[in-house]
Amino acid sequence: MEEVLAHRTPLPEKLRRVLSPTGNVGDGVFRLLMFAVALLMLLIVVAMILALASHSMLSLRGFGFQFLVGREWDPVKEKFGALAFVFGTIVSSLIALIISVPLSLGIAIFLVEQAPRFLSRPIGFLVELLAAIPSVVYGLWGIFVLAPFLREHVDPFLERWFGWLPLFRGPITGIGLLTGGVILAIMVTPIISAVVRDVLEAVPDTQREAALALGATKWETTLVVLANGAPGIAGAIILGLGRAIGETMAVTMVIGNRAEISLSVFHPSYTLASVIANEFTEATGDLYLSALIELGLILFLVTFVVNAIARLLVWRVTRQTVGAGMAA
Amino acid sequence: MTSLTALCTLVAVGTLAIILSYIAMRGISSLTFRFLVDTPKPVGEGGGIGNAIVGSAVLLLLSCIVGIPVGIATGVYLAEIGRDWFGNIVRFLIDTLTGVPSIVTGVFIYALIVLKMRHFSALAGGIALALIMIPIVARTTEEMIKLVPHSLREGAFALGAPQWRVTLGVVLPAAGSGIATGAMLAIARVSGETAPLLFTAFGSRFFPNGVTEPIASLTVQIYNYAISPYDEWHAQAWAATLVLMSLILSINLAVRFLTRKRF
């Protein structure tokens, strides 16, 4: 069949060689089809940027750079400034990282360097299962379990002992930056720890053997391994940051959704993603919708760059030794 | 120091146990047969999530129809053909696409489809979910194809088969079970998505009526009930969560069971 097709469709010699180096028309069609699908991926990314940019043109033109530094978000007066959302996004993500980075490093070290194999596999699976819980479920649990718990037990404790810091002052409602940060921490921990595990596993055993041979203790050996995987670990943390920045439902449900900037972590706040989730379907007027889509554009660009940096860092460590890429 | 790292692990596993037990405890009390088949009713009259279950199934089906073939084709391209600079760019873009917040995907589909159709639709929701699915399926397909031994390919080539027949007839079936588990994980992942559905599929109080109409989904229903001020709806949100989590956990456990030998 292929031979018959080859005779019926005489292609210029050069084009044929590009399409199918093997000289088979079926191969040419197959390669072309697969290439078209791969090209589609590229087009999707380009289309995302173009669609978000073109639909936020009104707001981009109207506010320019003021959009990022303006503090006022008033749909009635049609004044849109996103500073409070940028603040809420950054602070809640930072709280998440402060909690989850040590936790994730501990988990990864335990699973790769210390736990016996029969333990590390099932426990690793359980930790990864945290990532399988949907955002909205974290939100539900956050509203009815975590927020009351923080309000009754953790927040009063923090205020009592650290209340001299402006960070831990103010009315305690259980709904606010801290609760959002804690929920985010739980959500990014499985992601960071999974990537750190991959990175630690990619560090060659010769490094461990060399350290042990020089008389290092087990803990000192672990430090050597950590130093070896440092760029990958940095990548893992940045990957977690990207995830925290873009997380929507769980944060929306516990952060309070108020566009205010306050030093206190007990205070309600608002993130870029939450504003979009809450106000998108209610947006009346072209400028309002355009401003919300611009928030989406900012979110897209920030997470894209953050993820790109993270992937490059992780690849640097894992590619050298195992060749294959890391699991997403 | 071992006890410290073990403590970290315990915190994570303990949190998982706490979350899952809350879902089981609070969910089971409102879970009845009527709840699974009824449509939502005003507060005080009961009502259920039948339409949301059907809606979620329709959305998942739509996203699979679009997402799985495209994802597999992209994975095949990356593993078998695109070992040049263009393949690397595509691989990189796919990896970064997995990190794009799902709410941004929702905004994108809103601009691309909902604005053109002038109303919310199941179709738009399904495509938004497919966009989230594609990178996951593509990357697992690539990894699984790479695991297929080279001798298998060489054998087929030696018999005179052209590349497309080697890939479709020999390599893909050999990687089939791995690709299937990847697809299952992708389904588990998107079945929990809420943000991209808020302004694409939107939601509905009735059983689905065609793919060009707005459609209900379990996740959006859970969200709407969770942020409502009524205790009865809160209880229903927990029960709906139990249904959703049963689906997601069973997929994850099944995948774990199926891939036990390979990993």
Confidence bin at A327 (pLDDT 50/70/90):
very low
Query: A49 and A159 share a domain?
Result: no
pLDDT band, residue A10 (cuts 50/70/90): low
Would B4 be classed as within a structural domain? no
Of chain B, the percentage scoring pLDDT greater than 70 comes to 98
Which of B73, B87, B135 comes nearest A37 by C-beta?
Answer: B73
Residue A287 included in any domain: yes
Do A79 and A123 lie in a common domain? yes
The first and second tokens of residue B139, run together, are 């990357």
* Residues in chain A within 8 Å Cβ distance of B138: 41
Number of domains present in the structure of chain B: 1
CB pair distance less than 8 Å for A328 and B139: yes
Please tell me the distance from the alpha carbon of residue A76 to that of residue A114, in angstroms, as a whole number: 59
Q: Please determine, for residue A41, whether its predicted confidence score (pLDDT) is greater than 90.
A: yes
A269 DSSP β-pair partners: A256
Is residue A79 domain-shared with residue A48, that is, in the same domain?
A: no
Q: What is the domain-level CATH number for residue A220?
A: 1.10.3720.10
Judge if A140 and A13 occupy the same domain: no
B47-72 burial, b at 16+ Cβ within 10 Å, e below that, comes to bbbbbbbbbbebbbebbbebbbebbb
Residues A229 and A110 grouped into a single domain: yes
The residue from A30, A55, A80 where one domain ends is A55
The pLDDT tens digits for A128-174 are 999 999 999 999 999 999 999 999 999 999 999 998 888 898 889 99
Q: Are residues A208 and A238 in the same domain?
A: yes
What range defines the domain where residue A44 resides?
Answer: 2-55
In angstroms, the Cα distances linking B34 to B27, B47, B239 are 15, 8, 12
Helices (H), B77-121: 85-97, 102-109, 115-117
Same domain, A176 and A317: yes
Domain CATH number, residue B93: 1.10.3720.10
**Cβ(A52)–Cβ(B111) below 8 Å:** yes
Query: How far is the CA of A270 from the CAs of A90, A98, B196, in angstroms?
Result: 10, 19, 19
B74-123 pLDDT, tens digit each:
999 999 888 888 998 999 899 888 889 999 999 999 999 999 999 999 99
State the total domains in chain A. Answer: 2
| Chain B partners within 8 Å of A24 (Cβ) | 162-164
Would you say residue A327 lies in a domain?
Answer: no
Does residue B185 fall inside a structural domain? Answer: yes
| Cβ contact A93:A180 at 8 Å | no
Q: One-letter amino acid identity for A82?
A: A
Residue B186 domain boundaries: 49-258
B4: nearest CA partner in chain A: A106
Choose among B12, B143, B248: nearest Cβ to A130: B12
Residues sharing a CB contact under 8 Å with residue A96, sequence separation 6 or more, in sequence order:
A181, A182, A184, A185, A187, A188, A240, A244
Q: Are residues A48 and A96 in the same domain?
A: no
Tens-digit pLDDT profile for residues B145-168: 999 999 999 999 999 888 889 999
Q: What share of chain A is helix, strand, coil (3-state, %, to 5)?
A: 75, 0, 20
pLDDT, position B82:
82
Indicate whether A49 and A87 sit together in one domain: no
pLDDT at A9 over 60: no
Looking at the structure, tell me whether residues A292 and A150 fall in a common domain.
yes
Query: Above 60 in pLDDT, residue A287?
Result: yes
> Confidence band (pLDDT; 50, 70, 90) for A26?
confident
- pLDDT (tens digit, 9 = 90+) per residue, A54-97? 999 999 999 988 999 989 899 999 899 999 999 999 999 999 99
Q: Which of A55, A83, A100 is the last residue of a domain?
A: A55
For A197-237, what is each residue's pLDDT tens digit? 999 999 999 999 999 999 999 999 999 999 999 999 999 99
ipTM for the whole complex: 0.94
Residues of B in contact with A270 (CB under 8 A): none
User: Which residues on B lie below 8 Å from A226 (Cβ)?
Assistant: none
Q: Say yes or no: A106 contacts chain B, CB-CB below 8 A.
A: yes
Structure confidence by residue, pLDDT tens digits, B17-40: 999 999 999 999 989 999 999 999
On average, the pLDDT of chain B sits at 92
Q: Alpha-carbon Rg of chain A, whole angstroms?
A: 25
